[in-house]
Structure 1
Amino acid sequence: MSSTRRTVLGAAMAAPLLAQFTGAASATAAAGTLGTVSDGWVEVRWTQQAQALLDRFQAAVTAVAPAQPVQDAQGTAIRFPVRFGEGDPSLSSPSKAHGNGRLDGGVEVRTPNGTVRVAGLEAGLQEGLASGKCVVNGVDVGHHAVLRPDLGQGRLTTESVPLGKPMKVRITEVPLRPTPELLETFTSGFGDPGITVDTVLAHLTAEGVYTPPTS
């Protein structure tokens, strides 16, 4: 598999960002102005359209520990522990959520042409676009915005706690759609993917304890 294909496939699989409360904080954010996330996890469940794309390339996806596979009546997913996260979940307006973080574990994608192992998943969410970096077969890879998480379509639930205290936050069923940049890069490396910017590739669910900033 060429380096271009490894990069594209790696970026696409690494995009299980940290959405809602971990996802790129503003570079100008002052220290202490962002909350933190602990005891968190992110689960990415791909759709039939995404599975059809994997089948087209005879690709099999497995979890790299400590990430865990999830198989149930809803389909196939991978759950990643959150190593760290900081940001602003924008509870009153989820579409404005921003932040950054890192997931533990990774994914391995096997095709007849080779195996791609993606780990070191770092993700950023800013202005509704996900970008970040990862390690693909031991090589550091950065990627621009590859997915658009529609946080407004997700279902947000929070604990009722005193103002300023840590609270458990959970967002479910956030649709992830490809950006034009991802489609263009994919097409140049693999050919027409048969999907558009309106195709939902996966749904994301995330949970964690959000501790507001002290200042």
Structure 2
Amino acid sequence: MNTTRRSALGAALAAPLLTRFTGTASADAAPGKLGSISDGWVEVRWTQEAQTQLEKFGAVVEAVAPARLVTDASGPGVRFPVRSGAGDPSLTELPKAQGDGALEGGIVVRTANGSVTLTELSSDLRSELAAGKCLVNGVSAGHDAAVRCGLAEGVLTTESVPPGKPMKVRLADVPLRPTGEALDVYTAVLGAPPITADTVLAHLTAEGVYHPPTA
């Protein structure tokens, strides 16, 4: 696999990893008015369709600490601690979620011909579309609308706390699907993709403590 093909594979894998759990807020909300998230983690478990693509390229995924690999009955995946995050979780209109955040650690995708290391993962989520950036082998790279997050299909649980108090929020099993832009990149580099915009590449689970903005 040449450098271009390896980079494309890395980008395809990075897309779901750049997804952040944030919540609903007004589209014209001023920066810093969305509250913050602490003690958070994000876990991404790829589907059999994604695993098939990894096997096609003879690729193996490893975690860069403090991220770690997870494997059980739910399938393989990676869990990342959240370095920072801002958002305003809504309990009624998850598809309108927006916010941004950054994850600790990263992943390494190894093949017989080389490896791609993805670190400094961060993203921006608007209207269920996740864009973001990361370092690919130490070089900054962006991902514009790479994945669609089916937030309304996830399972939301929250703590019962008084209004205005910090609240633990967990959103589980959110399906991640490629955008048309991501499929266009795949086609340009690797040819006709074996997946469509309806293919679920991974499922995301995220948890954190939401701190409402101060008055």
Is the pair's TM-score, using the shorter chain for normalization, greater than 0.5? yes
CA contact (8 A) 1:151 1:174 kept: yes
| TM superposition shift of 1:17 | 3.0
* Paired residues for 1:33-52 under 5 Å: 33-52=33-52
TM-score (norm 1): 0.93
Gaps of 5+ in 1: none
Q: Measure the CA separation in 1 of the matches of 2:60 and 2:32.
A: 42
Correspondence 1:1-215 to 2 at 5 A: 2=2, 4-15=4-15, 16-21=17-22, 29-215=29-215
Q: 1:169 Cα shift?
A: 0.2
- 1:20 alignment partner AA: F
Quickly say closer, same or farther: Cα 1:191–1:170, change in 2 above 3 A.
same
CA deviations over 1:107-130 (Å, ceiling 9, x no partner): 000112210000000111001100
Greater shift in the superposed pair: 7-16 or 124-133: 7-16
Q: 1:122-170 deviations in whole A, cap 9, x for unaligned?
A: 1110011000000000100011011001000000000000001100000
Percent identity over paired residues:
59
Q: Which runs of 5+ in 2 are unaligned?
A: none
Q: 1:196 to 1:150 in 2, by over 3 A?
A: same
8 Å Cα contact 2:23-2:96 kept in structure 1: no
Shift of 1:2: 4.9
* Change beyond 3 A, Cα 1:22–1:54: farther
Per the TM alignment, residue 73 of structure 1 is displaced from its structure 2 partner at its CA by 1.2
Once the 2 structures are TM-superposed, how far is the Cα of residue 21 of structure 1 from its aligned partner?
A: 1.7
How many residues are treated as equivalent by the alignment?
214
Q: 1:78 to 1:162 in 2, by over 3 A?
A: same
TM-score by length of 2: 0.93
Is the Cα–Cα contact under 8 Å of residues 159 and 167 in structure 2 kept in the other structure?
A: yes
Greater displacement, 11-20 / 166-175:
11-20
Deviations along 1:57-113, whole A, 9 cap, x unmatched?
111111111001001111101000000000122222111111000000000001122
Amino acid at match of 1:124: D
Give the whole-Å Cα distance in 2 for the aligned partners of 1:11 and 1:212. 34
Query: Secondary structure, in 3 states, of the residue corresponding to 1:192?
Result: coil
Q: Mark the CA change 1:7 to 1:58 in structure 2 (over 3 Å): closer, same or farther.
A: closer
- Distance change >3 Å, CA 98–CA 31, structure 1 → 2: closer
Structure 1 residues 8 and 88: CA distance shift in structure 2, 3 A: farther
SS, match of residue 11 in structure 1: helix
Alpha-carbon deviations, 1:188-208, whole Å to 9, x = none? Answer: 112223000000000000000
SS of corresponding position for 1:100: strand
Cα distance in 2 for partners of 1:135, 1:101 equals: 15
Question: How far apart, CA to CA, are the structure 2 residues paired with 1:58 and 1:2?
Answer: 13
Shift of 1:179: 0.5
RMSD between superposed Cα atoms in Å: 2.0
Report Cα offsets for 1:16-45 as digits up to 9, x if no partner.
23433279x96x542431110000000000
Q: Give the match's secondary structure for 2:21.
A: helix
Q: Structure 1 residues 133, 13: closer, same or farther in 2, change over 3 A?
A: same
Between 163-172 and 105-114, report the one with greater CA deviation.
105-114
